[in-house]
Structure 1
Amino acid sequence: MTDKPTLVKCLVWDLDNTVWDGTLLEDPDVELFPGIRETIIELDSRGVLNSIASKNDYDLAWKHLEKLGLAEYFVHPQIGWGRKSDSVAEIAERLNFALTTIAFIDDLPTERAEVNYHSDAVRCYDATQAGELTGLPEFSPEIVTVDARRRREMYQASFRRDAEKETFNGPDEDFLRSLDLVMAIKRADEVDLSRVEELTLRTSQMNATGVHYSDADLRKLLADPDHEVLTVTLTDRFGPHGAVGVLLLERHPRLWHLKLLATSCRVVTFGAGAVLLNWLIDEAARAGGHLVADFRATDRNRMMEIAYRFAGFTTDACDCLTVLGEAAADGLQHLHLVADRRDASTTMSLTAPELAVAAETAVRPG
């Protein structure tokens, strides 16, 4: 049985002789190739972002895309006269995507070769394959969530948010307060499962263990009274950020075991991870217990280790760890913290369940 290919998060399109049939500078009324519109819209509906790397006059190309009714579907387009490898790299960096999740489609073998020479992790496709893309496994997520269907809109909102930040005069904390950020933490239900599974699958930089939890795994945890499966959403005055985090927590009499914390890279700059951790630590402190977090280093999640260390987690030994047994030999660490009360965030409001109350209820004699 072969492994499933890494899902493509963003497809970068050439324009001339790829999206449309001809060269725009030679024919200002150039038409779309058959099926291109449908492919772009279908990928968008699956949560695959579309972007552009084209050697063209920006104003002419963008006006033509608007005329064709396609401009709104492209995020962070790179239209100019530079190298396409630079354009692809810029798109990946701006979206904060690994190059392994970027694909590029162009009619010219020389352009595809140039991109691969500088970024061999980028998957390249000939323009003649455009009509086949939606049938390929790397463009076909098993589950398409509500957040996936509006992913483009959320990224476009983030660009508007970033543009406002560029013109904001004042400290970063004041800008965050101006956004009217609201974090909502809730216990997951059946409707949330696909969003939770997608987060564990897509998030790599801010995933504490790199573990993917399947729908079946999550259903078992939901049915277990000793476990909490929590989802995190974030909104601001520009609109929803969607599901941005998941926590998998197991409660023991002396400690709370944080099996997984994964947060979206999109909300790192808002301090969402710190707010989430401080809330959980405060809840554990109210319950009078210790907190132990699983962490497994990967080549992408160094930021998560820093977040844990900054919150106060250490590798120091504690008698409470005996209930968990030895950490697995595959690099899993048990990071320990004696929970203490934490101040509420000053940059966002928070709605969340009272886990400490639930813990007390769970251990109270009947």
Structure 2
Amino acid sequence: MPEAAKKVKCVVWDLDNTVWNGTLLEDEEVRLNQDAVSTIKELDRRGILNSVCSKNDGDFAMEKLRQFGIAEYFLYPQIGWDAKSESVRKIAQQINIGIDTIAFIDDQPYELDEVSFHCPEVRCFSADRIHGLLEQPEFTPDFITVDAQHRRQMYLSNIRRQKSEDSFSGPKEGFLKSLDMVFSIKEADYSDLKRVEELAARTHQLNTTGYTYAFDELCAMMESPRYKLWVAGLDDKFGTYGKIGIALAECMDDRWIIKLFLMSCRVMSRGVGSVFINYLINCAKEAGKSVYAEFLPTDRNRMMLITYRFMGFQEDHTTGDLMYLKYDFGTVHEYPAYIRLVLPDQNAAPLCEQQG
């Protein structure tokens, strides 16, 4: 996708004379910029996240945001005296998105130039352009899924999870068990296809081939006996992660070829990727088919190759840059006992009870 057309995933806002009118440290009675507030709320509805990067007293500024009733809209706010380019980088890192998917809004030309110089991938906008921001193509998703509308709430749930993990004493498996995770897998239907399309377009790190498919292509494959398309979701005691994984297999006479397998980065450390792959392997085994997987190496998806190899896939052959991996049915993996798996028309049951 051309750089200018890449969609924005997070907008980072200055506060003084941007989100509100006035300078907080000079005048406690600052007034909200209603154009900014309405834009923030609409971005949130579209599934575009918001954060704050402001040179201010952190406690004072956050209390003012709470008084205005908008503090909850901002993830990982960076309020202090660091260079704003560093703050923008921290926000991208904490949200776990590419810095080239961030937009930055400030009223000060110096701050805009500083961020542009040190972070040239970031789209920078002067505060006087807020009024027309929502009409810009990079802020206009092709579609708005249910998961997108709840994206901020999912991140807030993840912040609570992280705090719980940081305070947990004991082995990691003990913490994972405490989450009461429920992992669901089903064949995709029409209601899932927009989210499938969105996941394929947004997920690069935990993506085996990087293939993207338009809605019409997904419809055609879903209706064809030659393909199987699955979608996975995850929930725990803190809330839902939403739909976080997809797999697409081409079903040939003697084999299944996994054309695309991806997982959201938000679940990287939860162990559900191996559960999903195990499920695909078991389905192929029941159908009497061997299992192959396509893999297209990039500078960001090496973790997925490691996952395939850990699960028992070995390189079979290559075609250009495309690797074909074959599964060794002699490899056996135990399902983690801390995850419950839900399949269509099934109640949740521990995986250790399902694997028999």
**Residue 348 (str. 1) matches residue 351 (str. 2):** no
What residue is the counterpart of 1:311 in the other structure? 311
CA distance in 1, matches of 2:187, 2:285: 20
Most deviating of 270-279 and 129-138: 270-279
- Is the Cα–Cα contact under 8 Å of residues 4 and 137 in structure 1 kept in the other structure? no
Matched residue type, 1:69: G
1:47-62 matches, within 5 Å, as 47-62=47-62
In the TM superposition, residue 352 of structure 1 has moved relative to its aligned partner by 2.7
Q: Does 1:138 align with 2:138?
A: yes
Aligned ranges for residues 268-347 of structure 1 at < 5 Å? 268-317=268-317, 327=319, 329=320, 331-340=321-330, 341-347=332-338
- Cα drift, residue 4 of structure 1: 6.9
Once the two structures are superposed, the pairs formed by residues 105-124 of structure 1 within 5 Å of their partners are 105-124=105-124
Q: Which moved more, 1:113-122 or 1:131-140?
A: 113-122
Higher mean C-alpha deviation, range 203-212 or range 142-151: 203-212
Instruction: Encode CA deviations 1:92-147: one digit per residue, 9 max, x unaligned.
Output: 11111011111111111211121222221111111111121111111111110000
Match of 1:226 in 2: 226
Indicate conservation of the 8 Å contact 2:52/2:78, yes or no.
yes
Give the RMSD, CA atoms, in angstroms: 1.8
Q: Is the 8 A contact 1:288 1:339 kept in 2?
A: no
1:2 Cα offset (Å)? 7.6
TM superposition score normalised by structure 1: 0.90
Alignment-derived partner of residue 197 in structure 1: 197
Do the aligned partners of 1:233 and 1:245 also contact (CA within 8 Å) in 2? yes
The percent of aligned pairs where both chains have the same amino acid is 47
Question: 1:97 maps to which residue?
Answer: 97
Residue deviations 1:162-186 (CA, integer Å, cap 9, x gap): 0000110111111001000011001
Aligned position for 2:253: 253
Query: Which residue is equivalent to 1:72?
Result: 72
TM-score for the superposition, normalised by structure 2: 0.92
Q: How far apart, CA to CA, are the structure 2 residues paired with 1:174 and 1:300?
A: 30
Q: CA contact under 8 A between 1:284 and 1:339: conserved in structure 2?
A: no
Helix, strand or coil at the partner of 1:76? coil
* Unaligned residue ranges in structure 2 (runs of 5+): 346-356
CA contact (8 A) 1:206 1:263 kept: yes
**Moved >6 Å (runs of 4+):** 1-4
In structure 2, how many angstroms separate the alpha carbons of the residues matched to 1:76 and 1:290?
46
Residue of structure 1 equivalent to 2:350: none
Cα deviation, 1:185-232, whole Å, max 9, x if unaligned, reads 011111111111100011010111111111011000111022111110
Unaligned runs of 5+ in 1: 318-325, 355-366
How many residue pairs end up in the alignment? 344
Preserved contact between residue 279 and residue 344 of structure 1 (Cα < 8 Å): no
Measure how far apart 1:60 and its partner are.
1.1
Question: Is the 2:314–2:326 Cα contact (8 Å) retained in structure 1?
Answer: yes
Match of 2:348 in 1: none
Moved more, 80-89 or 280-289: 280-289
| 2:20 counterpart SS class | coil
Alignment partner of 1:151 is 2:151 = yes
Amino acid aligned to 2:198: E
